[in-house]
Structure 1
Amino acid sequence: MQLYAVDAGLMGNHLPMHQGTIAKLSYYLSLQTSHSLQLIVQNNLQIMVAHMKAMQQLLTPQDSGYVSLPPVQQLPTIGAVSSETDYLIALDGRLNAVSMAKEDFSSAMGMHTPMARNIHIEMALQKVQIAEQYEQFLLNAGLSVHPYASAEIQQALTEQYRAALASLSARHGSGARPKPAALQHA
């Protein structure tokens, strides 16, 4: 497939990250962890290998075929953390999946080859699914990565932005945009 230079460059940066993550996930599979965590890590590993293969296919000049990704395996029930090792691997796995999802989406927005852009958006969405599996694993043990805000904090934020929105509406009418200064004399 003929790619724009920026697309090839972005994938050239992604491939070593994927290679390192695959090595780390392979190591995690060698450790004694819960069966549920093993399934999540295996799922993550399979997705990372599929993403590397997709990028290699995109980078192959003679290959003009459609590039696709296998779906993320949905795990029926996800157990809970049973050791500190489980906890640390799940935290790292979630953080890595979130980070790579952001990287894939950000890269996709800078890509110019439609198939490369679309496959990277799909990769980002798959990494979000993997992050959610790690998150569920942690939540099942009562370990929330994100604490809930109190009702008071939520109410204070609502009031703060309600006032800001009212102020903006009063100044600019009901959604009408003000004319840029350069056009006001025209």
Structure 2
Amino acid sequence: MRLPAVDTGLMANHLEKHEAILAKLSLYRTLAKDETYDRIVSEQIRVMLDHVRAMLELLDPERREPVRLKPIAHRFAAALMAEWPLDFKQLLAETRATSLNMARENFLSALQMHHPNAKRVHVDMALQQVHFAERYGELMRAHGWEQHPMASPEEQRETIARFAHMLQ
């Protein structure tokens, strides 16, 4: 398919980042000897390789049919396991940050792309990266490594009172 130059440039940039991130994720698999983490990272690697395939297909000027991503195989359940060492906690947080950054990058690129199929595929790529960030977050919460303070009911009511005028 013929693509606008901006779409081609964005995908060239993405392919460079995918190459580096795939190498980093492969290294992370060797550093953490946890079965659940390994399954999530392995699936993320498979999905990112599918992203590479999709971008290369989008870039093929002879291609006429639309490009689609393969679906994520299955949802990963966060399992409570034995106490993990601090370095794994940091590795997990960094892996989640990588997923969030890739999601952000794909969403922003999709907003800048002009070809409808390239745009749709990059939105789907972003959503798949969000999926992995959520899985890593589940593992972090399962181990008590991430907590979000809850607002009090009074704070929530005060916020409603402050902005309710917009609906009147």
Shared fold by TM > 0.5? yes
- Which of 77, 92, 95 aligns to 1:93? It is 95
1:32 deviation in Å? 4.0
Counterpart of 2:55 in structure 1: which amino acid?
M
Aligned pairs for 1:105-124 within 5 A: 105-124=107-126
Q: Which runs of 5+ in 2 are unaligned?
A: none
Counterpart of 2:151 in structure 1: which amino acid?
S
Residue 25 of structure 2 is matched in structure 1 by 25
Q: How far apart in 1 are the matches of 2:125 and 2:25?
A: 17
1:66 deviation in Å? 2.2
Counterpart of 1:3 in structure 2: which amino acid?
L
Say which one has the larger Rg. 1
SS for the counterpart of 2:39 is: helix
Q: Deviations over 1:83-133 (max 9, x none)?
A: 233212211111111111111111111111000000011111101111111
Residue 147 of structure 1 is matched in structure 2 by 148
Counterpart of 1:9 in structure 2: which amino acid?
G
CA contact (8 A) 1:101 1:124 kept: yes
Higher relative CO (CA 8 A, sep ≥ 6), structure 1 or 2? 2
CA contact (8 A) 1:44 1:130 kept: yes
SS for the counterpart of 1:63 is: coil
SS for the counterpart of 1:44 is: helix
CA RMSD of aligned residues (A): 1.9
1:82 deviation in Å? 2.0
| TM superposition score normalised by structure 1 | 0.81
Residue 162 of structure 1 is matched in structure 2 by 161
Aligned pairs for 1:1-186 within 5 A: 1-79=1-79, 80=81, 82-144=84-146, 146-151=147-152, 155-156=154-155, 158-160=157-159, 162-166=161-165, 168=166, 174=168
Q: Which runs of 5+ in 1 are unaligned?
A: 175-186
1:142 deviation in Å? 1.4
CA contact (8 A) 1:34 1:86 kept: no
Q: Bigger shift: 91-100 or 76-85?
A: 76-85
Q: Percent identity?
A: 31
CA contact (8 A) 1:94 1:131 kept: yes
| TM superposition score normalised by structure 2 | 0.88
Number of aligned positions between the proteins: 166
1:158 deviation in Å? 4.2
